[in-house]
Structure 1
Amino acid sequence: MPAFPQSTTPTHTTVAVPPALSLPVIETEFPRQLHPYWPRLQEKTRAWLLEKRLMPADKVAAYADGLCYTDLMAGYYIGAPDDVLQAIADYSAWFFVWDDRHDRDVIHRRPAAWRRLKQRLHAALDSPRDHLHHQDPLVAGFADSVVRLYSYLSRKWNARFARHFHAVIEAYDREFRNRASGIVPTVQDYLVLRRLTFAHWIWLDLLEPSAEYELPNAVLRNPVYRRAALLCQDFAAWYNDLCSLPKEIAGDEVHNLGISLIHHEGMSLTEAVKEVRRRIEEGIDEFLVVEQEVLRYADRLDDGSVQGAELADAVRACLFNMRNWFSSVYWFHHESGRYRVDSWDDRSTPPYVNNETAGEK
C-alpha cells in the first residue's frame, strides 16, 4: 500500500514490505500522517547537514534524501510549529550521524577518539553556546541543535532533556565497551540499555514543544501515560532491531534483541526473528488498549476550567503522536537506504558514512 495514502507527492510510492517484516495491523490500524512542512523540512535539513559539515557534500547529494531522516520526524511530530519541527529534524539527522561516528570508532578501534567525543558532548549539552564553533563538526552541530531545542520551553524542561541525554551518551559508552570486548548483553540487560541507546525519553520529551505545552510531572508519571509512551518507543526500538538484524550481523554488532536471544537463549536466527516479532505484536496490541485509557485520563483532566482543557488537549496531542510513531517508524524502515544492506558494496560499511578517521582530529 502507499506509505502516504493521502499524499499526492511523487516522492512516496508503494513500498513492498518483505513478509518477515510485514505487520498488517500497522498498515490497517495506524494510518500514516505527514506534516505539511515536510518538503521544506527535507530541503532545509539537507542544507543544514552541509552548513555544519556533518556529511561530505557528495554524500549529502547522493544519499541524504534517500535516507529519509526528515520523513521519520515529519511523520511523528504532527502539529508541531514549523520551526520546532525543523529543530527536531536537524537534531535527528545529527543523531544518525553521531550513531555512524560511534560505529566507525568501534570498527576502526578508536577508543581515545570516542572518549574525547563523549566528553565534548557532555560539555556541549551543559553549555551549548560555548560549543557552537567547536572544531569537531559533530560537537558544533550538536550544540546548534541543543541551543534551538532549549529555546522553546522552560529551564526545567531543558534540565530534564539534558539529564536524559547525558544518560544516552553514557549508554553509548557502555555499548562502545561491549562491542570492543565482544560482550553480548543478556536479554534483560539489553532491553534496559536499549531504552537509553534508542533515546526513548528524548523523543518523548520532544512531544511537548511540538504540542507547545510543558506537561506537569503528574502527567509524565501517570502510569497509563507512561505506559503508552514506553510502548510506542519500545515498538520503534524492537522493530528497528528486526529490520537491522542483517546489517548488524554483517557489522559484527552485539546490540540487537535478536542477537541477544540467539546468544543467551540458544535460539536459531529463525526462532529469534519469530520471538522479536511476537514481542512487537504484543506491544502493538497493548498500546491499542492503553491508548483508550489515556484518552479517558485526558477526559478527566478536562475539568471545565481553561487550564484543564489546555492540559487535556496537550495530553491528547502527545498521545496522537505516540500513535504516529508506529506508522512513521514502520514505513521509514522500508523506505530508507539505511537498511538496504544487500545493495551495499560492503555489507559492513554503509555507503553514506564518512569512513575516514574523523574522530581522531
Structure 2
Amino acid sequence: MSTSALRAHYTWQGNSNVDLLNRSGDDWTYDMGLLPVAADPEEWAAIGLADCTAWCYPAADKDELFLAYHLYAWMFALDLLFPRRFKAERDLQGARALVDRLSLFMPLHGTSPAMPKHPIERSLADLWIRMTPTRSTDWKRNMRNAVLEYADGQCWELECMRSGRIPDPAEYLVRRRGSFGGQVGICLAEHVAAAEVPARVRRSRPFRALTDAWIDLQTLYNDVRSYRREVEKEDEICNFVLVFARFLDISIDEAAAVTTRLRTARRSEYEHLEKTQLPDLCEQLQLNGNDREQLSAVVEVMGYHLAAVDAWTTTAPRYQAPAPGDVPATVLGS
C-alpha cells in the first residue's frame, strides 16, 4: 500500500461488518437487477467494492455501511454500463434518455409518481427512499444535483469520445470532478457522519477549495492507475494522463509523472485548507459549537475516506495493470 501524510493524520482501519458486507452486500445488487447487467461476476469482484466501503467508513454501523455500499454499487453499475451499452455504439441519444429521467426518482418532497423502467432507475429509487427520511431539503437538493452531475459526466465523456476531442487540462480538471462523483462523496460523508456542513460554510471559498482538492487527489491517482484499461482497452479519451500528454506534447510516461506531481501539489493544498483555512473560517463566521461539531464530523469522514481510497486504488485487482512509466505506488502516495 502507498503511504501518505493523510495516513498519519487519519488512522487507516476497517469496519467490523466487512465480512457480512462481502457475504451479503450484493444480494441487493442482484435483487435490483444491477448485476449481471452492468458487469460479469469476475469483473465485479475485481473492483473490491466491499473492502473499499468498509475502509472508507470504519465507524459506520451495519445499516449505514450497507447503504454506502449500495450507493457505490449503483455508481459503479452506471459507470460500467456506459461502455457496454452506450460508448461502444457511440449512442449519445440513448445515454441522454437514461440520464434525463434520473431526477424523477429523487424528489425533494414526497414520493416519485414515476415508475422505474429498468434496474438503474429501480435501484436509484430504492436508494433515495433509504437515504432521505432524516435529511434536510438542502441535503436532498445537494445529493440530487451531485448524482445528476455524475451521470451527466458519463455523457460528457461519451461526447468527447464521439467527436475524438481530448479536452484541455483546465476543462478536464473541472469536468472530471463531476464524472468521478466527487460531490456524491461529500453528501455521503455527511450522511455517514449524521451531520451536515452548515450552508454558509458549504458556500465558502475555503470549503469549496477543500472539496475540489479532495476530489482531485482521488481522480489524479485513479487516472494513472486506470490508464491502461481505460485508454488502451476501452478507447476512452477522458483521462488525465492522455490529456496532459496531448496538451503538453509529451510522452505518456512523462504525462504520468506530471499527473503525479500535480497530485502532490493538491495534497499539500488539501492539508493547508484543512489545518489552517477551515479553522480560520470558523472564527470569521463565528460558528457556534454545534456548527463546528457538524463540520468537524464531516471533515473527519472525508479524511478517512481519502486514506482508504488511496489504499483501495493501490490494491484492488481492477487497478493492477502496470501504470504508465511503471510509476511506483509509493511515489504516487508519498
What is aligned with 1:102?
82
Within the alignment, does 1:156 sit opposite 2:159 as a pair? no
Structure 1's 156 and 58: CA in aligned 2 closer, same or farther, altered over 3 A? closer
The Cα shift of 1:29 comes to 5.5
Corresponding residue to 1:193 among 165, 169, 175: 175
CA separation in 2, counterparts of 1:295 and 1:325? 18
Structure 1's 36 and 308: CA in aligned 2 closer, same or farther, altered over 3 A? farther
What is aligned with 1:287?
270
CA separation in 1, counterparts of 2:284 and 2:55? 27
The Cα shift of 1:65 comes to 4.3
The Cα shift of 1:96 comes to 0.5
**Partner amino acid, structure 2, of 1:169:** A
TM-score by length of 1: 0.78
What is aligned with 1:272?
255
**Partner amino acid, structure 1, of 2:29:** L
The Cα shift of 1:260 comes to 0.7
User: Residues 178-257 of structure 1 correspond to what in structure 2 (within 5 A)?
Assistant: 178-250=160-232, 251-257=234-240
The Cα shift of 1:301 comes to 9.2
Within the alignment, does 1:142 sit opposite 2:124 as a pair? yes
The Cα shift of 1:335 comes to 2.5
CA separation in 2, counterparts of 1:58 and 1:138? 10
Structure 1's 179 and 36: CA in aligned 2 closer, same or farther, altered over 3 A? same
Within the alignment, does 1:77 sit opposite 2:60 as a pair? no
Contact 2:150-2:178 at 8 Å conserved across structures: yes
> Where do 5+ consecutive residues of structure 1 fail to align?
1-14, 16-21, 343-361
What is aligned with 2:12?
32
- The one-character-per-residue Cα deviations of 1:234-260 (angstroms, maximum 9, x if unpaired) are 101111111111112212111011111
**3-state DSSP class of the match of 2:242?**
helix
Structure 1's 60 and 102: CA in aligned 2 closer, same or farther, altered over 3 A? closer
CA separation in 1, counterparts of 2:280 and 2:31? 44
Contact 2:201-2:207 at 8 Å conserved across structures: yes
CA separation in 1, counterparts of 2:112 and 2:312? 33
The Cα shift of 1:160 comes to 2.0
**Partner amino acid, structure 2, of 1:56:** P
CA separation in 1, counterparts of 2:192 and 2:21? 15
Contact 2:39-2:77 at 8 Å conserved across structures: no
The Cα shift of 1:270 comes to 1.5
Structure 1's 299 and 24: CA in aligned 2 closer, same or farther, altered over 3 A? closer
CA separation in 2, counterparts of 1:287 and 1:219? 16
What is aligned with 1:122?
103
Structure 1's 181 and 58: CA in aligned 2 closer, same or farther, altered over 3 A? closer
Structure 1's 121 and 59: CA in aligned 2 closer, same or farther, altered over 3 A? closer
The Cα shift of 1:61 comes to 5.1
Q: Which structure would you say has the larger RCO, counting Cα contacts within 8 Å and 6 or more residues apart?
A: 2
CA separation in 2, counterparts of 1:35 and 1:29? 18
Corresponding residue to 1:259 among 242, 246, 262: 242
Contact 1:171-1:197 at 8 Å conserved across structures: yes
**Partner amino acid, structure 1, of 2:193:** A
What is aligned with 1:43?
23
Contact 1:69-1:89 at 8 Å conserved across structures: yes
User: Residues 335-350 of structure 1 correspond to what in structure 2 (within 5 A)?
Assistant: 335-341=315-321
Within the alignment, does 1:332 sit opposite 2:312 as a pair? yes
The Cα shift of 1:278 comes to 0.3
**Partner amino acid, structure 1, of 2:22:** Q
What is aligned with 1:4?
none
Within the alignment, does 1:54 sit opposite 2:34 as a pair? yes
The Cα shift of 1:317 comes to 1.6
**Partner amino acid, structure 2, of 1:247:** R
Within the alignment, does 1:308 sit opposite 2:288 as a pair? yes
- The one-character-per-residue Cα deviations of 1:151-179 (angstroms, maximum 9, x if unpaired) are 23112211221123223332322221111
Structure 1's 78 and 248: CA in aligned 2 closer, same or farther, altered over 3 A? same
CA separation in 2, counterparts of 1:93 and 1:109? 24
Q: Which moved more, 1:233-242 or 1:139-148?
A: 139-148
Q: Which moved more, 1:42-51 or 1:59-68?
A: 59-68
The Cα shift of 1:341 comes to 4.4
Contact 1:298-1:313 at 8 Å conserved across structures: no
Contact 1:232-1:326 at 8 Å conserved across structures: yes
**3-state DSSP class of the match of 1:206?**
helix
CA separation in 2, counterparts of 1:74 and 1:130? 34
- The one-character-per-residue Cα deviations of 1:197-229 (angstroms, maximum 9, x if unpaired) are 112211112221212122221221233333222
TM-score by length of 2: 0.84
More helix, by proportion? 2
The Cα shift of 1:75 comes to 2.3
Identity %: 21
**3-state DSSP class of the match of 1:139?**
helix
CA separation in 1, counterparts of 2:219 and 2:209? 15
